[in-house]
Structures are given as structure tokens and as C-alpha cells.
Amino acid sequence: MDSGLVALVLNSHLPFVRQPDYPRFLEERWLFESLSETYLPLLRVFARLESDKVPWKLTLALSPTLEAMFGDALLRSRYTAWLKMQLELAEKEMVRCAGDPDFAPLATMYYNLYLKDSEDFTMLYSGNLLGALDFYYKKGRIDLMTSGATNAFMPIYRNYQAATTAQVEAAVVSFRAAFGRSPSGFWMPQLGWYPGIEETLSAYGLQYSVVSTRGALLGDPTPRYGSYAPVSCPNGFTTFIRDIASTNDVWSETSGYPADPAYRDFYRDIGFDLPLDYVGPYIEQNQIRTFTGFKYWSITGGNDQKAPYSPELAAARVEEHASRFLQARAAQAKAASVHMNGRPPLMVAPYDAELFGHGWFEGPGWLETVFRKAQATEDLRFVTLSEYRRSYPDNFESVPEYSSWGDGGYGGIWLEKSNDWVYRHVFKLIERMIELAERFPNESGLRERVLNQAAREVMLAQASDWPFLLRAGKSGSFARKQIEDAVTNFNRIYEMLCANTVGTEWLTKLEKRNNIFPSINYRVFRHKR
């Protein structure tokens, strides 16, 4: 009998930042950095664990936008070019740092990192990271979930069932195209849950999701097992509940493991520290200072008090933090199990995947160490969400409350003074899309293409990333432009259809630019009768 079960869940998402009209584009770096610092390192962790027969299990929620970018030929080729640039910079750094006992080994470390990324991406995986994930999915090591098509914060659109349904349908269709089977889990973007969404999810064969602790405990009735077991909605849909303690151990900005002074500092980067004439070729337009990925300092103190990064010291902290994580979960399980009526307590630990490697450089190593150390304990076992659901199909019945994992626990991050203007436009787009789908229910050929592109633009405008960025004040102009472009594109299509004229050349160009969801069916926006 297990005394405790742990389900690690990684939320893998980036907004659709493909910009084919530009030879280089700053926001495409988000993808490249995540590939080099998170996904390729994680795949190396998986391969090592597999090779050593470590019984590892985790759940990975792959957003349809990231899924589309992983599979996109243009972005693959751009990533290869970016890696070449990183290797060139690494070679320059090895020369610059030669002889420095602190920095020379780090420059070599980065060279080796990018070299390994290059080898893995081009030779081992042939650019096909979806295939790599599918390998572990089929082996049962990874449970893959899908997520909202464009990461829309669903509670805001709850009065537009067609819009929330479109987010679900496009996600399920994309997942099937990528992995050849239907997903059973659906990650609610930003853990944005509202009562009633379970009906839409179930209609697409989806069986489970994850909600915040707040949302679950505010559910009606109060869950019998707290966050230590999922709850079932009356229609049978299962909602797993985020465990606050394991979340805080890793995510707390002040007390979480990644805040340890020995770990590599995220913000000090040669892109900001070295002269422009040196870093120019590796930043935007030779003059816009950006992160390059070359970071030589540990978190330690303020900017002028930082110590050089020591991988050895950091590795020691990884060992300690992995042990602490397991000890804390075991203690938690022990305390909870007394009240569980014989059922093993489950601790669901969802994190942003990009935390591992990109935000927290040592994160992949920590994850690997956690799995390795867990072999030595009989107190804990790692499970995937679908595996748990199969083992424990009967759950306490309760419907979670509207909630999210954002500040305040509801929708305040995505609906406040910096971004509330967005919804006037997006609501209008949705209403017009519903109108178009009603007016043109059986189109084919060019008009069907036009309507499908209109549906894509509506969904791109719905992305919660844009309001998030507007609020954060980072890349706000980019976010604004993404919304304005989608609104403009949609309204142009709307006017073309109203005037019964279609600009084929413009449409084709737009289809090539915003090429996401090739199998989209605009009819999903028809009112459900």
C-alpha cells in the first residue's frame, strides 16, 4: 500500500509567436530559449532516467500553440540558425574568459550546452520534439494533456459557449493530429476554471483537469479529502487539485528552492553587461539589449554583490532540495493518510515547464534527482494523472468554483485597467464569428477558407498571454499588436464576406502567416441547438 502518491504536472506553453514576415524576431527567442534551456535538457533527463531504469512518471500539458510551433518547419530552421549563433557567441566567450578561473569553465559549459542542443535537435530528434515526447507518452512515462487552443482564460468567455467550445475542439483536433490519439486530460489555461465547463470538456471525450486549491475548496460541497484526492463533477469529469505545499516549495519567490543563493542568477546576462559592439550581433538589431543566455553569476545578493556561479555548489543544493522535497511530501502524506479512509493521499504538483531550466537553471537536474532519490523510499510513488484516475475512478462529488492560479485566485490578472480594453474587441469578434457561422453554415472552397481563417483570428485574439503581458508591462507593445492584428484581420474578413468579395492574395498570405490549426472548422462557432 502506498503511503503517498505524487503527480508532477508540467504546463508547457508559449503563445504563438511565429513571425515569418521578419528575418529575425525578438519574441521568437522565447521559443528558442525554452527549447535550449527547458525542453532539450528535460528530454536528456528523461533519456538518462530511462537508461538507468528509474521508475519516473510525470504529466505534461502541452498547449496547442507550443505544439504547433514545435512542429513548424520555419521555426525549426530558425532555431537551428539561432543555435549556430549561440555557438559562435560561446566560442567568443571562451576566448574572452580564457584564464579566468571562475568564468572560463562557465563559458565552456555554455559551449557544451549549445553543442549538445544542436546535436540532439538536428541528429537525435531530427527537429521532431513532438516525436520525442510521443516516445515517452507511448511508454507510459509521460501522460500528455492538451490545453486551451490559444491559452484563453476561459472564465471570461463563459457566456460565449461557442468560443469556449472552439478552444476545446481546436485543441483536441490538434492533439490528435500530433499524437494520433485523443487526449484524455485538459489543462485549463491559468487554471482558469468555472462551473459548467466540465460539460463542454466531457463532450469532447476529455476526462480530467487540474484546478487550484482555492477553486476546489470553494467547491460545493467542500471536498471530503481536501486537496489530497480529486473530485468528480456530477457528469463524471474529474478535477485534480493543486497541492499548495509542493507548489510553494518550488515556486515561492522568497522561500522556494530556486531562490537559493547558490543557484544561477536569471537576470545578470552578458546581453546587458558587456559593450554593445561585442554583444551586438547576438542581440536584436545590434542594439536592443536582450538576454543572450550567457549568465555567469549566482543569485547571491544585489547586482553589485553577486558571486560567480559555481555549478558544483549549485549541484550540492540540488541534492539537498531534492531530498527536502521528498521528505516534505512524505511527511505531508503521513499526516494526511490518517484521515483518508485507507486511500493514499495524492499530491498534485503543477508547475510551469519553463521554470525548469529557463527560469531555474538547475531545475531539470533537480527533477532528475527527485526521481532518482525517490527510488530509495517506500513512502512515495510518482503517478500520472490518468494512471491515478484509472486506479481510483470513484471520487467525492463536487463542482469546483470559478478560480485561477493568478494573483488573488480569480481573474484579476487578465482583467484590470491595463488590459480590460481587450474584451470589447474580442467579444465583438466572437459575436461576429457566431453571426458568420450562422449565415454561412455549409460553405466550401474559398469561402470556407476565409471563414476558417476568421475563426483562427478570433482564437488568436483570445490568448490570455496578451492581457498578461499588457499587465506585466513587458513586451506590451508586442502584445497589443497581436490583438490589434487579429482584430483587424478578422474585421477585414467580416467586411469582405458582408460585401461578398474575397481578396485571395491577401487571404493566402494571412493563412501562411497565421498557419496554426490547419484542420480548424469554423462551424464550431455555430450556436449549439
Partner 1 sequence: MTRRRYFSDDENVNVERLNSLSIDALYALSEKMALDLPPDLEKVFIVEALFEAFEEDNEDRKSAGDAAVHIEEKKYSGSELDEIDASIDAAPCIVCRYNETIVHVIARDPAWAFVFWDLRDEELDELRASDSFSHLFLRVIKEPGYDGKSTASFEVVVGEEDDHWYLHLPEEDRSYRVDLYAKTGTKSRLLAHSPVIRTPRALMADSLADLDPGAAELAALSGLAILEIVQAPMRHPSRILGGFDE
Question: Of the two residues 156 and 455, which places its CB atom closer to partner 1 in the complex?
Answer: 156
In angstroms, give the least distance from the CB of 375 to partner 1. Answer: 26
- Edge-first strand order for the sheet with 231-232 is 208-211, 238-241, 231-232, 396-397
Task: Give the H or E element holding residue 247.
Answer: helix 244-251
In angstroms, give the least distance from the CB of 498 to partner 1. Answer: 14
Question: Of the two residues 185 and 189, which places its CB atom closer to partner 1 in the complex?
Answer: 189
CB 145 within 8 A of CB 174: no
In angstroms, give the least distance from the CB of 251 to partner 1. Answer: 3
SS3 250: helix
Question: Of the two residues 285 and 500, which places its CB atom closer to partner 1 in the complex?
Answer: 285
In angstroms, give the least distance from the CB of 411 to partner 1. Answer: 5
Question: Of the two residues 75 and 469, which places its CB atom closer to partner 1 in the complex?
Answer: 469
Question: Of the two residues 64 and 467, which places its CB atom closer to partner 1 in the complex?
Answer: 467
> How many Cα atoms occupy the beta-carbon half-sphere of 347 within 13 Å?
30
Residues 515 and 344: their CA atoms lie apart, in Å, by: 45
Cell numbers that stand for 89 in this block: 557567441
CA dihedral 286, 290, 292, 296 (to 10 degrees): 120
Cα separation of the two ends of the chain: 49
In angstroms, give the least distance from the CB of 322 to partner 1. Answer: 19
The DSSP result for 62-108, as a single string, is E-HHHHHHHT-HHHHHHHHHHHHHHHHHHHHHHHHTTT-TTTHHHHH
CB 168 within 8 A of CB 201: yes
Cell numbers that stand for 63 in this block: 498547449
In angstroms, give the least distance from the CB of 161 to partner 1. Answer: 11
Question: Of the two residues 59 and 247, which places its CB atom closer to partner 1 in the complex?
Answer: 247
In angstroms, give the least distance from the CB of 274 to partner 1. Answer: 14
SS3 424: helix
In angstroms, give the least distance from the CB of 218 to partner 1. Answer: 5
Question: Of the two residues 97 and 163, which places its CB atom closer to partner 1 in the complex?
Answer: 163
Provide the sign of the torsion angle of the four alpha carbons 425, 430, 434, 439, taken in this order: positive
Question: Of the two residues 30 and 135, which places its CB atom closer to partner 1 in the complex?
Answer: 30
In angstroms, give the least distance from the CB of 189 to partner 1. Answer: 11
SS3 375: coil
- Integer angstrom CA distances of residue 507 from 370, 449, 500, 514, 519: 50, 8, 14, 10, 16
Question: Of the two residues 29 and 456, which places its CB atom closer to partner 1 in the complex?
Answer: 29
In angstroms, give the least distance from the CB of 228 to partner 1. Answer: 6
Cell numbers that stand for 342 in this block: 485507507
SS3 414: coil
Question: Of the two residues 57 and 242, which places its CB atom closer to partner 1 in the complex?
Answer: 242
Per this entry, what is the length of the chain? 529
